[in-house]
Amino acid sequence: MLLHYLEGKLTVVDILEKVDEHTSLAELVDDKRRIFVNNAFENVRHIVRFDYSKNFYYLENSFLPLAMAILPLEGLPLEGNDLYNLVNGLPSNKYVLYGIWNPKWSFNRIPHLNKVNEYFDPGKMGKVIYIGKESNSKKGKLEILFDKVNRLNFSFREIFLIPGVLSNPMKYARVFLLEDSEGFYALNSQSKKHEIVPFRMRPLKLL
């Protein structure tokens, strides 16, 4: 049965065992219900994201909700309220996801969304906000959609304030790609001002 209360949320699971190349059986830390998770390490506690698209996975008479692994929980400085909120499910409007993008992965070109999905797969994205290096004036801030790329002449503050710049969290994962740490400092600063938590995604290619 679909866990409706977790749609779009981040939460914490224990990975139990691999069931195929990309998928693992897992257990919610909160209530011990079992789900399937894509792209996780075996026997490691993970932060995972549930899509709004009601994904399921069927295997050997098991028909369970499917979540996407974002990153292992081990080593993250989470405790107290932060960990409690994650275990109980962090709502989709209370977090953003970001990945560090190596331009070499896309041959020093702006990546298409299908290329982004080769390295990061948090679920349905709709679009990605791409933050180039400050010294690279040709890239700057971009909005990468499936069929086009738009230049964003907005500050980080405006990206969070202007409706429609970020993806609708009730439909899609809100994702940033950053080329360097300077972009993270700006992202982290604005996230805190809006009481939003940024989580760094683990690249799939390094699995």
Question: Comparing C-alpha atoms, which of 17, 13, 44 is closest to residue 29?
Answer: 13
Structure tokens at 92: 């989709």
Model pLDDT, residue 168 = 92
Quick: pLDDT tens for 87-142.
888 999 999 999 999 999 999 888 989 899 999 999 999 899 999 876 344 458 99
Q: How far apart are CA 86 and CA 160, in angstroms?
A: 22
* Average pLDDT of the residues in 6-13: 89
Q: Could you tell me what percent of the chain has a pLDDT over 90?
A: 47
Q: How far apart are CA 129 and CA 151, in angstroms?
A: 10
Which pLDDT band holds residue 74 (cuts at 50, 70, 90)?
A: low
Q: Which residue shows structure tokens 């977090």? A: 95
Q: Which residues of 9-19 are buried (b: 16+ CB within 10 A; e: fewer)?
A: bbbbbbbeeee
* Average pLDDT of the residues in 42-58: 80
With a cut of 60, say whether residue 80 has pLDDT above it: no
Q: How far apart are CA 12 and CA 162, in angstroms?
A: 31
CB-count exposure of residue 42 (10 Å: 0-12, 13-18, 19+): exposed
